[in-house]
Amino acid sequence: MIKIKWLLILMFSGYSLFSQDQFKSESFHLEIKKKAYEYKNNTFFYSATLYFIEKNWDSTLVHSMKQLNVSKKNRDLADYSHYYRGYSFDQKKLLKEAQKEFDLISPEFDFYFLVKKCLGEIALEQGQFKKAISYFEELTKLSDKHYFYLKKRNVLHNLGLCHLHLNQFKEAEPYLVKSVRLQEQQKDTLETIWAYGDIANLYYEQYKDDLAIPYFEKAYQLSKRTKDYKSKQNTALNMAIVEENRKDFKKALVYRKEYEKWKDSLNDQNKIWEVAQLEKQFAVKEKQKEVSLLQTENKAKIVERNGLFYSALILLFLLGTTIYFYKEKIKTNKIIVAQKEGLDDLNATKDKLFSIVSHDLRSSVNALKTSNTKLLDNLEAKNLEVLDGLLHNNSAIVNGAYNLLDNLLHWALLQTKQSYFEITSLRLFFIVEQVIYNYKPLMLDKNIAFESTVLKSDLVFADQESLKIILRNLLDNAIKFSEVNGSIKIYTQQTDEAYCDLVIEDSGIGMNETTRAGLLKESELLSKKENENSIGTGLGLQLCKSMIQKNKGKFSIESELGKGTKMIVSLLKKA
């Protein structure tokens, strides 16, 4: 079987180097912060450290150079400054300058093993594989404490990569196999995909298809769990070529289509569509020219035989054309009128929304100003009890205003179709736990008894981020409209084979049937809530309904005035 060898180049061009800030940066940053505070009087060094942590490479280069110009006698500071410069050059892809800086660092540098790591990666990127191997092999001899700052699996992977470039397959295999096992343990999806690809290439280079193809398949399956389009494109293309080599062209075509789907951006698709339209219009025009020519010849013959009949035909043609264009004009006018009405409705909704939002924000700012005035008066009097109440009141006002603005942002993203949705299988238990954590202090303030009986086995298909927004808004409403010493419950119920119902039940003030029916109307314009003690526009619930609909779910409300409320979100159990 003849293989398509450029498969290796397409999927992993030069194979996938694991570098570029792969060491555990948080621990390293903590250490260099300590060093910066130790030399806080050295302004240039202190600034260079902060810029380095912020990944502002240009400013890091400027301030570290100033530090070197001020003092080169302090070997410790000089080593750190050269490291900052070398790493910054490396990030800017100026490899020769980076190598020069790293070479100026003394072996006594606290993190000299990271210098070797960087030099090894530079050598690998420059194609100096034997030189890179010498650096990486030294790193394999480090103690466990050194691996606190870098990833052992990446060192092993890069070693395997060097041997693979040198066609030393036997030497490369154990390193790549160990790297893959460590990647699988750490569950770093992207790195695992690339690791699978490189070990697949190792076997593929040796024509060991039975070993290579399972790794290509693993990489493809794993890419479905990531949002990285490059991984999705490349793994789909590899599977297409694998199936072509197997002579299964039907499967290969499916993978090819999937690859094209990930490859083409919306703009590319629009351009392709525009080109197709232009080609179609050109073909129609050419055809019309041919038809016109034939019509002219026929008309000439008809004129010779019967001028009157010819004139009648022209009149009928003109009449038909006039009627056709008249109808098209009426149709176009109807479309324009409908679009205008739609735009008027949208503008009315927008104007009303801005009016309500601006009123609520003005009210909250005014309330905050009034509360701050009282706060200052009581601060002078040192009335701690009143101060505590005012601070809690300020916090509630700010939280309300923040939630309003957050909902406004998500509502705007939905209206402009800029929000990203990815419906996947989710465990409700973990989503609920994450959202509840942030609301426990609010429930404690009102002494609300809370109970969640959502099971870990409850699975739904939904977009994770939009589901969190839905839960936050519904839980916020439940707390807002619950009395002191009230209760809130979150649980699931199975009333439909296709849907799982998530219920947020509170013992609050409830609502009458008119209010309940109004909240469920799709065409209902945004309006001010009847409860004037709480900031809100109804935007949160409007946002919830829109997001539930986009998740292909259902929403219902059960409530009686004075007897609490049940907000029920029904989500699909299967995709």
**In this predicted structure, which of 86-95, 286-295, 310-319, 520-529 has the lowest mean pLDDT?**
520-529
Average pLDDT, the chain: 78
Q: How many CB atoms lie within 10 A of CB 209?
A: 17
In this prediction, residue 6 carries a pLDDT of: 36
Residue 275 lies in a domain: no
Residue 210 lies in a domain: yes
Domain of residue 147, CATH code: 1.25.40.10
> What are 362-421's pLDDT values in tens digits?
666 766 777 777 777 777 777 777 777 777 667 666 766 666 666 666 666 666 666 677
pLDDT average, residue stretch 187-212: 75
In this prediction, residue 224 carries a pLDDT of: 77
Residue 4: pLDDT over 60: no
pLDDT above 70 covers a percentage of the chain that reads: 77
Residues of the domain holding 536: 420-572
pLDDT band at 3 (very low <50, low <70, confident <90, very high): very low
Residue 256 lies in a domain: no
Domain of residue 494, CATH code: 3.30.565.10
Instruction: Read off the pTM.
Output: 0.41
Choose one of 242, 270, 292: the last residue of a domain.
242
Residue 456 lies in a domain: yes
- Using alpha carbons, select from 413, 409, 400 the residue that is nearest to residue 360: 400
Instruction: List the beta strands (DSSP E) in 162-306.
Output: none
In this prediction, residue 353 carries a pLDDT of: 58
Place of tokens 């041919």: 290
Residue 523 lies in a domain: yes
Residue 141: pLDDT over 60: yes
DSSP characters for 553-572?
-EEEEEE-TTS-EEEEEEEE
Residue 517: pLDDT over 90: no
Choose one of 242, 267, 290: the last residue of a domain.
242
Alpha carbons 36 and 27: distance in angstroms, whole number: 14
In this prediction, residue 554 carries a pLDDT of: 92
Report which DSSP code applies to 226: -
Q: Which pair of tokens denotes residue 33?
A: 């912060």
pLDDT band at 572 (very low <50, low <70, confident <90, very high): very high
Residue 150: pLDDT over 80: no
Residue 473: pLDDT over 60: yes
Residue 117 lies in a domain: yes
Q: Which pair of tokens denotes residue 279?
A: 């080609």
pLDDT average, residue stretch 65-89: 88
Is the CB of residue 571 less than 8 Å from the CB of residue 502? yes
Is the CB of residue 42 less than 8 Å from the CB of residue 67? yes
pLDDT band at 535 (very low <50, low <70, confident <90, very high): very low
Alpha carbons 423 and 410: distance in angstroms, whole number: 17
Residue 366 lies in a domain: no
In this prediction, residue 504 carries a pLDDT of: 94
Adjacent-strand bridge partners of 504: 490, 567
In this prediction, residue 558 carries a pLDDT of: 92
pLDDT band at 16 (very low <50, low <70, confident <90, very high): low
Residue 230 lies in a domain: yes
Choose one of 242, 272, 306: the last residue of a domain.
242
Count of domains for the chain: 2
